[in-house]
Amino acid sequence: MFDLKNASRRRALIKLAALGAGASGAFATSGARAADAPGTLRIGYQKYGNFVVLKARGTLDKRLAAQGVTVQWLEFPAGPQLLEGLNAGAVDIGTVGETPPIFAQAAGVDFVYVANEPPAPRAEAIVVPQNSAIRSVAELRGKKVALNKGSNVHYLLVEALKKAGLTYADIQPVYLAPADARAAFVQGSIDAWVIWDPYLAAVEKQANARQLADGTNLVRNIQYYLATRKFATTRPQLVHAVLDELDQVDRWAHDNVPAVAAQLSPLVGLDAGILEVALKRTAYGVQPVAPATLSYQQQIADVFTDLRLIPKKLDVTEARWNVA
């Protein structure tokens, strides 16, 4: 969860992180004033996904340049960190999995859901080393299980444990970002890892990891596009432009998986074959957030409230975007 008491310090850290992730020099020199610059759109993205493809193709940059708007692309290691960037005023719009928005809303982050991708339950899983004696989720009792706290796989783990007759208290959760969790997994200092693609496809191929369970019949694993409420309310035309370009990229990617993998490979540092596996497990098609989808988000929020991982019951519909 977010530490709102240290908001000023977090803003400074997020700005430094953004710079390290490749933010432009304008962000460094103008600082917080860039947050309200009418000619700037800050997009938070993760190392993998259609925002990376959109960035590489340059179509959004060209489209908005004609309107006097410069796009700044800020990379984050995972959804929770991206939403901290949004909360700190460093991001206008970004993409995350289904669980980070729950933790963010519980922490008082003022955002709205502006769109989502279809479910992709096979794109996340619980894995163990190939030679592990653990053969089922039920055998995770008392074991060290790594995950990125508040990420999409957090909900997968909860639901998988429930189906296996275990509770969250029956395991030893180890909260690690993907890179650290990968190292711990390879070194054998954890028993299992709950992770999403392309990290999932990579550890399966490169470290011979074995799946205990993916999200099938457990979770939907929906990817969301979020924006600050202020940005979505005052600059809806830019939100629509982003979603339109994303939809075009999605349509192209669906029919050109090998080409997408080849384009992503040098950008994310993974073999194209690994990325093809991941891309075939994803889902394509930017769509409005339907009432049924928000009901699913409410279900997730209620689960984390019951586990006391968030401090209060949420009304997810408060983050609905009143589309302009």
Q: What are the residue ranges spanned by the domains of the chain?
A: 4-119+222-319, 121-214
Best CA proximity match to 198, nearest among 99, 123, 95: 123
Most confident of 19-28, 74-83, 172-181, 315-324: 172-181
Q: 213 has which bridge partners?
A: 126
Best CA proximity match to 223, nearest among 116, 113, 101: 116
Q: Which CATH topology does 4-119+222-319 take?
A: D-Maltodextrin-Binding Protein; domain 2 (3.40.190)
Instruction: Summarize pLDDT for 214-246 with one digit per residue, the tens.
Output: 999 999 999 999 999 999 999 999 999 999 999
**Torsions phi, psi of 134, nearest 5?**
-75, 120
Lookup: tokens for 215: 């999200």
Instruction: Summarize pLDDT for 19-77 with one digit per residue, the tens.
Output: 333 333 222 223 333 344 569 999 999 988 889 999 999 999 999 999 999 999 999 98
First to last CA, the chain: 31
Query: What's the mean per-residue pLDDT of the chain?
Result: 88
Place of tokens 């997408």: 260
Domains 4-119+222-319 and 121-214 share a fold: yes
pLDDT value of residue 324: 63
Q: What is the pTM assigned to this prediction?
A: 0.84
**Bigger pLDDT: 304 vs 3:** 304
Residue 15 has pLDDT above 80, yes or no: no
Which residues contact residue 83 at a Cβ distance below 8 angstroms, ignoring those fewer than 6 apart? 2, 94, 96, 100, 101, 103, 104, 109, 111, 226
Where in 137-191 does DSSP place strands (E)? 144-147, 172-175
CA 130 to each of CA 92, 204, 206, 207: distance values in angstroms, whole numbers, following the listed order: 42, 9, 12, 8
Residue 151 has pLDDT above 90, yes or no: no
pLDDT value of residue 323: 81
For 121-214, CATH number?
3.40.190.10
Pairwise CA distance, residues 222 & 106, whole Å: 19
pLDDT interval class at 190 (50, 70, 90): very high
Best CA proximity match to 28, nearest among 64, 69, 74, 93: 74
Cα angle 258-267-43, degrees, rounded to a multiple of 5? 110
pLDDT value of residue 38: 65
Which residues contact residue 193 at a Cβ distance below 8 angstroms, ignoring those fewer than 6 apart? 126, 127, 128, 145, 146, 147, 181, 182, 184, 185, 203, 209
pLDDT value of residue 28: 29
Pairwise CA distance, residues 240 & 280, whole Å: 27
Best CA proximity match to 293, nearest among 323, 319, 254: 319
Instruction: Summarize pLDDT for 279-292 with one digit per residue, the tens.
Output: 999 999 999 999 99
Residue 146 has pLDDT above 60, yes or no: yes
Check if the beta carbon of residue 38 is closer than 8 Å to that of residue 64.
Answer: no
